[in-house]
Structure 1
Amino acid sequence: MDSRLPEIDLVIFDCDGVLVDSEELSCRCLSEALGQAGIEMSTEQALELFLGRSTAAVIAYCRDLGRQLPADFLTDLARQVRETFGAQLKPISGVAALLADLRLPHCVASSSDLDRVSFSLELTGLANYFGRRLYTSQMVKHGKPAPDLFLHAAGRMGAEPRRTLVIEDSVSGVTAARAAGMRVWGFVGGSHYRSRDGGGLLRRAGANRVFASMTAFWTEG
């Protein structure tokens, strides 16, 4: 156990916006894909509605609008995201050094599908820090903000929820972690929070702490 987190046996990292700086990129792709399907939505609106949520939430949203997406929508979106990530995706600054120094068991729990998470981590040089300890919304019935994914990840890792710390950047993720009975820190260092009060959002959702740089991970506050 790392002595700097004396009551924690497991750290669960969200992927998008915590390990890789992908949220603005992926929401821009979603905005463009929806526009091609005749549904106007800005990147900012996509961030407000779907940050930290799975594509199932996008499908449900469109269904509630009475709009049917093309059969190949998700396939086309995934291709567009992959191409954009391949050209522009970067790791969150300082996260590799943090992971290299982290002595606690750790894993990923993401609303993105497993292929995208694996691709993102490989592309940014972070894959070796997690191996196969990748858990996604595909593996549970209900994605974030339900607690299912975090409880699944902790169960697979053999950790009790009350001794698990979650690192999240979204309201839905913070809500899910709190519902799972876990401690949760909100991270606001991704580019999608450059012009938004991420700290206020995550604190109101129940984050036990908010920090903006991975170099401040061990700092009190």
Structure 2
Amino acid sequence: MPTTYPTPRLVIFDCDGVLVNSEPISNQVMVENLARNGLPMTVERSMELFVGSTMSGAMAKAIELGADLHEGWIDEVYAETYEALRAGVALMPGVMDLLALLDAKQIPCCVASNGSEDKMRITLGQNDLWARFHPAAMFSAQSLGVAKPDPGLFLAAASHFGVQARDCLVVEDSATGVLAATRAGMRCLGFAPTGTGENLAAQGAEVFSEMSEVAALIGL
């Protein structure tokens, strides 16, 4: 028989690639920037390397691979990314229906992201979700000074809502985020709208491919 779980008392969403379809845009910017700095790669390779990481982590990894990055590069690539995202980024299909269901069942939800609040202001703001989550239900690694795969970001969210880790559900799309959830002792659903999600499963996630599946996975 399949494992059954109690309904979560808090749902914690990653932002990029879970709530908003921003990863292709951000990684296209990364590819174009790194090409100018001596490190050519495809968007697919960029997503393999950088999805789920902080920008400082991405910088260190790119330098290790041969990019010639200068001091101030992080501010530069943030500015380029924000400009591209302002041109338009869509919500992931099914997100609003899922949020409406959680509201109807009176299950609180929040966002915990390795991205900056400025980035979330752009992506969530143009989709009418910034006001929903900010500031009381938004946890940014840049603001809190702790980033996934450290579990501290998720544990801070749970503490804020007064919910035990075992009663939380995390929705993630990166192995880094899944590892953070596992380390926090939280159940994690790994969102893989394309591909098999084996990298997510390897870190302990239950893989799903469409937001419409979440209701059944959490007993709603």
Residues 141 and 148, structure 1, Cα contact 8 Å, conserved in 2: no
Residue 190 of structure 2 aligns to a residue whose secondary structure is strand
Question: Considering only aligned residues, what root-mean-square deviation do their CA atoms show, in Å?
Answer: 2.1
Over residues 119-170 of structure 1, what are the superposed CA-to-partner deviations in whole Å (9 max), with x where a residue is unaligned? Answer: 2111122224323111111134441122121112222222211111100011
Match of 1:172 in 2: 176
User: Given the alignment of the two structures, is residue 182 of structure 1 paired with residue 181 of structure 2, yes or no?
Assistant: no
Which residue does 1:210 correspond to in 2?
207
1:89 is aligned with what amino acid?
Answer: V
Q: Counterpart of 2:11?
A: 11
Amino acid at match of 1:218: A
In structure 1, the residue matched to 2:196 is 197
Pairing 1:43-62 to 2, within 5 Å after superposition: 43-62=43-62
Deviation by residue 1:31-56 (Cα, 9 ceiling, x = unmatched): 11111222223212211111111102
- Once residues 12 and 217 of structure 2 are traced to their aligned partners in structure 1, the CA distance between those partners, rounded to angstroms, is 19
Equivalent residue pairs, number: 211
Question: What is the TM-score with the length of structure 1 in the denominator?
Answer: 0.87
Which residue in the other structure is 2:112 paired with?
Answer: 109
Percentage identity across paired residues of the two chains = 37
Cα distance in 1 for residues equivalent to 2:132 and 2:100: 7
Identify the residue that residue 100 of structure 1 maps to in structure 2.
100
Q: Partner of 2:123 in structure 1?
A: 120
Cα distance change on mapping 1:64 and 1:220 into 2, 3 Å: closer
The question of whether the paired residues in 2 share the 8 Å contact of 1:164 and 1:183 is answered with yes
TM-score by length of 2: 0.87
Q: Which runs of 5+ in 1 are unaligned?
A: none
In the alignment, structure 2 segments of 5+ residues that lack a partner are none
Q: Is the 8 A contact 2:29 2:81 kept in 1?
A: yes
Query: In structure 2, do the counterparts of structure 1 residues 64 and 141 end up closer, same or farther at CA, with 3 Å as the change threshold?
Result: farther
Contact 2:155/2:184 (8 A) holds in 1: yes
* Counterparts in 2 of 1:99 and 1:129: CA distance versus 1, 3 Å: farther
CA deviation digits over 1:91-120, x for unaligned, max 9?
011101211221211110001111101221
